[in-house]
Amino acid sequence: MRREGSPWRGVGAVFLKELSDHLTGARMIVLEWLVVLTGIAAVYVSIQQIKNTSAEDPFLFLRLFTQAGEQVPLSFATLLSFLVPLVAIGLGFDLVNSEHSRRTLSRILSHPIYRDALLFGKFLAALTAIAISMVALWLLVIGLGLLTLGLPPSGEEIARALVMLVVTIFYAGVWLALALLLSTAFRSPATAALIALGLWLFLTILWPIFSPWMADLVGSRDIASAEDFLGALSVRQGFARLSPSSLFGEIVSVVLDPSVRSTQQPMLAALGLALVERGSIPGAPLPFVQSLLIVWGQIVGLIAATILLFVAGYVVFQRQEVRA
């Protein structure tokens, strides 16, 4: 049985209204300032660090995003992986259930639009609001770099930084879709917000601590050769990748650092080890496209997670009764 009419009817109207709500709402302003102020602080710290080290680095500009300070061990990229979910959850946790509690849902749906339009318009508007603030923040960081470092970024650096920007927006999409799903499944915004924040704490802070331990329970424990070791590392990585923030971390660490040739390299480096491929010059920068290819799977993973979570929210919403 096929429905008459387009599911897209009304998306534009919903999108514009929701976007204007977000951009004028106090919540968005607070979250934006939180991200901007902490982001600028992180970049400021990394600028001090970069100025102190006089080593020649052809990709100095990218270290604005990845360099952690000595007192403050947080780079801009790490900070984003913490705070972007918070912004997305903050905008998304009451998107649907507030329409219930305001008793506007049945009135809005009595107009000639499908539910699809309402949900999709809301998702798109919140994502756009996040994207706008991320672009602004990104430009702010680039501008700050130009002013303080006094050297212009190369084309490749800009390209890599742009990829990071786009990936950050996809990363926000995952958390937004999760928040939207929770806001559909739970009638009380407080419940939805608590569960979303709980998942956020678990996935970004606790999971990185527990996942290696759980991986070692599953994988083999006796390590006899380098292959065994790398195998165990892959299992650990597989477990860690269940959290979107570790996917984001992998992408950012590879894209923003051309010397990283594999996603395992940062983990090995943390153990004081280096992976040397046959025929490669250690430390030589990887071309942009090659870096992108290494983390292509992770990028697709983020997008797929967004789509899956959105579809789950969509199904719940379609089956839901309109009346309170």
Partner 1 sequence: MSDVVIDAQGLSKRYDGAVAVDNVSFTVGRGEIFGLLGPNGAGKTTTILMLLGLTEISAGAARVLGHDPVREPLAVKRRVGYLPDSVGFYDYLSARDNLRYTARLIGFAEAEREARIADALARVDLAEVAGNKVGTYSRGMRQRLGLAEILMKNVAIAILDEPTSGLDPQATLELLDMIRGLKREGVSVLLSSHLLDRVQSVCDRVALFQEGRIVLMGTVAELGREVLGGGFAVEVEAEGQGLAERLAQVPGVRTVEAPGPDRFRLLADRDVRPDAAAAVVNAGGRLRRLSVEEPSLEAIYTRYFHDHGARHAA
- Among the listed ranges 3-11, 61-69, 170-178, 262-270, the one in contact with partner 1 (CB under 8 A) is 3-11
Site string for partner 1, 54-93 (x = CB under 8 A): ----------------------------------------
What is the three-class DSSP state of 43?
helix
Please state the closest distance from residue 308 (CB atom) to partner 1, in A. Answer: 25
Alpha helices in 219-278 (DSSP H): 226-240, 244-255, 265-270
**Gap between the Cα atoms of 162 and 174, Å rounded:** 19
List the Cα angle 211/216/218 in 5-degree steps. Answer: 95
Cα of 105 vs its chain's centroid, Å: 30
List the Cα angle 240/243/247 in 5-degree steps. Answer: 80
Site string for partner 1, 219-258 (x = CB under 8 A): ----------------------------------------
Determine how many CB atoms are found less than 10 A away from the CB of residue 13. 14
What is the three-class DSSP state of 232?
helix
* Residues of this chain, 5-34, that bind partner 1 according to CB under 8 A: 5, 9-10, 12-14, 16-17, 21
| The binder of partner 1 chosen from 104, 188, 220, 280 (CB under 8 A) | 104
155 part of the interface to partner 1, by CB under 8 A: no
**Gap between the Cα atoms of 288 and 154, Å rounded:** 12
| The binder of partner 1 chosen from 65, 114, 175, 186 (CB under 8 A) | 114
315 part of the interface to partner 1, by CB under 8 A: no
Please state the closest distance from residue 196 (CB atom) to partner 1, in A. Answer: 23
195 part of the interface to partner 1, by CB under 8 A: no
User: How many Å from the N-terminal Cα to the C-terminal Cα in the chain?
Assistant: 28
- Positions touching partner 1 (CB under 8 A) are 1-5, 9-10, 12-14, 16-17, 21, 102-104, 106-114, 321-323
